[in-house]
Amino acid sequence: MRTLILAFDPGREDFDASLVREEYVGSGWACILPVLIAGLYFHAPSFPLWMLIAILGATAFLAKKNMQMRAVDWSVLLIAALEFGILFSSQYGANSIRTLTLITLSVQTFLVVRLTIRRPIQIACLGAILGLSGASLGLSGMHQLIAKAEQLNDAGFSNLHTFRSRLIAPPAPWIVGEWFTVVLLALPFACAVPVYFWRREKIWSVITVLSSLVVTATLVLSMSRAVFWSTVVFYSSVCVLPVVSRVVSLRAGSTLLARVLGSLVLIFLCASAVYPGLLKTYAGQHASQTRSTQGRVEIWNRSLELVRAHPLMGVGSANSALMLLSNADEEETTGFASRTFSLPVQIVVEKGIIGLVLYAVFLGLVAREFVQTMRHSPPIRGPHERGSEPNHHVTKHLRTQCMAEIKDGLAYKAMVCCFAAGLIAVLFRELTYSSLIEHNLTLTLVAVLAAMICRPQVT
């Protein structure tokens, strides 16, 4: 990794003071940004579309002025442009306006995070707030589950799997599946904070791991196969990616994987002891799960018929439910007939082959950004920066600072591995569910994850 060594400078104290001020300002902005995201979430339905378009144009202009636009940034703007095209070719354009609003908000969030959140301390602050929010959401769900499980036990029902859809009532307007997706999206942010302190202060890493344990316990008690196995995929990826990226050694990665999976098994065994039937739930041996799988396969087959009828631009955003209901059989329930239950299927149905290709290109470019991030340390900004040539007048203070920068670089890369693992896990979940582009909060959190994976750059 490239190490930046600063030469001795008489104005060193002023330079250090400016760096400290920059750290405080950056950390403050990282704490304010989640509040702004929450404000957008609650007030987005009341925003006029023209206002969002104007804000998006201003954000894109600001991003172009302050950072070098890369291919991943242009692909995001192309996705937003595609939504405008779909709006005019949609079978029912009124339904597509809401999706256009959601896409616009997510693109704005992506550009803002790419533009302003760069340094490890900023990422740790943002991750702490989002992780704690996910933990509080998980605690509320666990409280409901415990209360309702006691009521069912008093009535003589010990196996809760049959009643899993009634155990947690998510906040309006969420449904249970979207609620679990939001909690799953909070997991990488909750894990990024202990990873940051693991490379700096190990005592703090033990304390900050509590929020990730709460989120994990909630996901284990979800009684959803996709959610549970997505959690397993996340923890497996978050241990494998640092090894592949050479952030940690193979031995350290193997030890970490054994500890993490061991902790996950321990949480699962404790939950199974309190609530029997979890093993059968995640093994897929229940009759309702068999019917669920059969229903999904049938919907995917009927969705392909819509793709054949509208191959290029699809039926229009948010129109898949209406189109599927229009040709549903009488014996099919509304819940199954009105959802695609797969993100790739929903994209190709609503946005056609062109939309599927654009989203695939975006994910490919994000993967490319991840590889580039692992090859380069985060850029260190400052007016007194020089090259990496060693200087004979380098003091002990400067050498200590360089070691701190190396630790920051390793912590940064480890956090990026958490975000990449989170994106992998939620996409794995969305193979058999489709909530990312149906709910503005899930789409916004995915945009934040993708922006965190992209390597920062000097402005």
pLDDT tens sequence across 320-366: 888 887 766 655 554 555 678 899 999 999 999 999 999 999 999 99
Q: Of residues 163 and 128, which shows the higher confidence score?
A: 128
- 278 within a domain of the structure (yes/no): yes
Residue 60: the pLDDT is: 65
- 409 within a domain of the structure (yes/no): no
Contact 63, 288 (CB under 8 A): no
Residue 380: the pLDDT is: 41
Range in 89-98, 409-418, 448-457 with the lowest mean pLDDT: 89-98
**Which whole number is the average pLDDT over 54-65?**
66
Query: pTM of the prediction?
Result: 0.85
Neighbour-count burial for 82-100, b at 16+ CB within 10 Å, e otherwise: bbeebbeebbeeebbebbb
Flag whether pLDDT at 149 surpasses 60: yes
- 312 within a domain of the structure (yes/no): no
Residue 191: the pLDDT is: 92
- 352 within a domain of the structure (yes/no): yes
**Which whole number is the average pLDDT over 427-431?**
94
Instruction: Give residue 222's pLDDT band: very low, low, confident or very high (50, 70, 90).
Output: confident
Q: Which amino acid is at 147?
A: A
Sequence-distant (6+) residues with CB within 8 A of 92 are: 316, 319, 322
Residue 192 and residue 211: Cα distance in Å, rounded? 11
What is the average pLDDT value for the chain, to the nearest integer?
80
- Give the residue among 109, 137, 105 at the shortest CA–CA distance from 33: 109
- 392 within a domain of the structure (yes/no): no
Residue 246 and residue 323: Cα distance in Å, rounded? 48
- 317 within a domain of the structure (yes/no): no
- State phi, psi for 437 to the nearest 5 degrees: -100, 15
Percent of the chain's residues with pLDDT above 90: 29
Mind giving me the DSSP string for 336-371? Answer: HHT----HHHHHHHHHHHHHHHHHHHHHHHHHHHHH
Q: Of residues 67 and 249, which shows the higher confidence score?
A: 249
- 384 within a domain of the structure (yes/no): no
- 209 within a domain of the structure (yes/no): yes
Total domains, the chain: 1
Residue 425: the pLDDT is: 96
**Which whole number is the average pLDDT over 181-208?**
83
Residue 299 and residue 322: Cα distance in Å, rounded? 13
Q: Which domain holds residue 445?
A: 13-286+341-378+420-453
Contact 275, 160 (CB under 8 A): yes
Find how far residue 316's CA is from the centre of its chain.
25
Most confident of the following: 138-147, 150-159, 162-171: 138-147
